[in-house]
Amino acid sequence: MKRMSVNTHNNTYDIFIKKGILHNVGSFIESFIKNKKVIIITDTNVNRLYGEYLMKNMRKYTSSIFKIVINAGEDSKSFDTLKQIYDKLLSFHVNRTDIIIAFGGGVVGDLAGFAASTYMRGIHFIQIPTTLLSQIDSSIGGKVAINHPKGKNLIGSFYHPKSVIIDPDLLDTLNNKFLYDGFGEVIKYSLIKDKYLYNTLIRINNKIDIFNHIEDIIYNCCKIKKDIVEKDEKDQGIRMLLNFGHTLGHAIEKYYAYKSYTHGEAIAIGMYNITKVSEDICITKKGTSKLILDILNKYNLPYDMPTNNIEKLFDFIRLDKKNSGTNINLVFIKEVGKGTLQQLDIKEFQKLLTVNLKG
């Protein structure tokens, strides 16, 4: 079993990573659930596969267990679903000493975490993430949120779980689309911080190989995120490194109204194209974009810019809340494993990208 603890300003919590840990998950969180009211929040898919199993496991530690099942999918990160959760928590007479378990992917984690952070001014919650993306990214770091009709994750807070329990075996049932989507973020970690992880990933040849290495891969990603979050919990400095590929990626997701590209695919395109630009202006060692292309190919991720309409993409980029004046904060890599933050004039960035795409 792999274990690490996350130490932020006001919180400390443990992350446990182990294949099959779901079988005795209760023993790892006993102190939080014993004789408490436990409310499992999950989605329809995860519930169908593992819901009853988790309930059964919890029954060894408490007789008071409830389950709230939301519809699977991003649409559930909404005010409507949040209200349904509050209504159910009230009808179960949940109080501040009870605990929520978020059991699902990033959608469940963000929504249940936000509900936990606001219900009665905050009750404890535990993350049991079930997708690759949620196991390496969204369950750690304390960002919880719902979407607003005007944009994703606009309503949210920073609120840490009491513990994160990661069972890589749960990924067996995840379809390939979501598995490779998660690899977009795994690759990002390797590019900004961990050349060794890149070298491991590039040597993997098939899905069996992936599952042979998955515990280490997840551990390395969690460790990178934990180290960064501990230094910059509120996203004011070094945590921005985690946005490598995201400026272009978010613009691509918005340009296609979140329909054509998954998040992992969009940031894959973002990472490759921004690195071509940074090679042109000598921020990045020549040949690095080729190394990115090689690894994206391996994990079935796209890399070509899907549109020449750079003007329209920049309409979205200009709206990014991380801009300051005419400058934009960008993440580049100097070489594989070495991320760096730099500001660039937005117009200059647009010109460089346009020239690069024509060339």
Ligand X SMILES: NC(=O)c1ccc[n+]([C@@H]2O[C@H](COP(=O)([O-])OP(=O)(O)OC[C@H]3O[C@@H](n4cnc5c(N)ncnc54)[C@H](O)[C@@H]3O)[C@@H](O)[C@H]2O)c1
Binding site for ligand X (CB under 6 A): 43, 45-46, 49, 72-74, 77, 104-108, 110, 130-131, 133-134, 137-138, 141, 143, 152-153, 170, 173-174, 178
| Residue whose CB is less far from ligand X, 183 or 314 | 183
What residue type is 164 in one-letter code? V
Token pair belonging to 109: 């984690």
Exposure string of 210-235, with b = 16+ CB inside 10 Å and e = fewer, is bbeebbebbbbbbbbbbebbbeebeb
Token pair belonging to 124: 């404890």
Ranked by CB distance to ligand X, the top (closest) residue is 106
| Residue whose CB is less far from ligand X, 170 or 248 | 170
Beta bridge partners of 157: 144
- CA–CA gap between residue 110 and residue 140 (Å, rounded): 11
* Contact status, residue 245 vs residue 271, Cβ threshold 8 Å: yes
Taking residue 77's Cβ as centre, other Cβ atoms within 10 Å add up to 23
Quote the least distance from Cβ 215 to ligand X, whole Å. Answer: 16
* Contact status, residue 283 vs residue 334, Cβ threshold 8 Å: yes
Quote the least distance from Cβ 103 to ligand X, whole Å. Answer: 9
The DSSP line for 81-142 is HHHHHHHHHHHTT--TT-EEEEEESHHHHHHHHHHHHHGGG--EEEEEE-SHHIIIIITSS-
| Residue whose CB is less far from ligand X, 28 or 103 | 103
Quote the least distance from Cβ 129 to ligand X, whole Å. Answer: 7
Quote the least distance from Cβ 287 to ligand X, whole Å. Answer: 30
| Residue whose CB is less far from ligand X, 179 or 277 | 179
Quote the least distance from Cβ 74 to ligand X, whole Å. Answer: 5
Quote the least distance from Cβ 138 to ligand X, whole Å. Answer: 3
Show the CA angle centred on residue 150, arms to residues 147 and 155, nearest 5°.
35
Quote the least distance from Cβ 179 to ligand X, whole Å. Answer: 10
Quote the least distance from Cβ 342 to ligand X, whole Å. Answer: 23
| Residue whose CB is less far from ligand X, 76 or 350 | 76
| Residue whose CB is less far from ligand X, 204 or 242 | 242
Q: In the chain, what is the greatest distance between 2 CA atoms, to the nearest angstrom?
A: 66
Contacts (Cβ under 8 Å, ≥6 apart) of 234 = 158
| Residue whose CB is less far from ligand X, 107 or 346 | 107
Residue 149, classified by CB atoms within 10 Å of its CB into exposed (0-12), middle (13-18) or buried (19+), is: exposed
DSSP 8-state assignment for residue 49: I
Length of the chain in residues, anyone? 359
Quote the least distance from Cβ 17 to ligand X, whole Å. Answer: 15
CA 112, distance to chain mean position in Å, is 15
* Contact status, residue 226 vs residue 15, Cβ threshold 8 Å: yes
Taking residue 312's Cβ as centre, other Cβ atoms within 10 Å add up to 12
| Residue whose CB is less far from ligand X, 40 or 283 | 40
Show the CA angle centred on residue 80, arms to residues 181 and 84, nearest 5°.
105
| Residue whose CB is less far from ligand X, 134 or 275 | 134
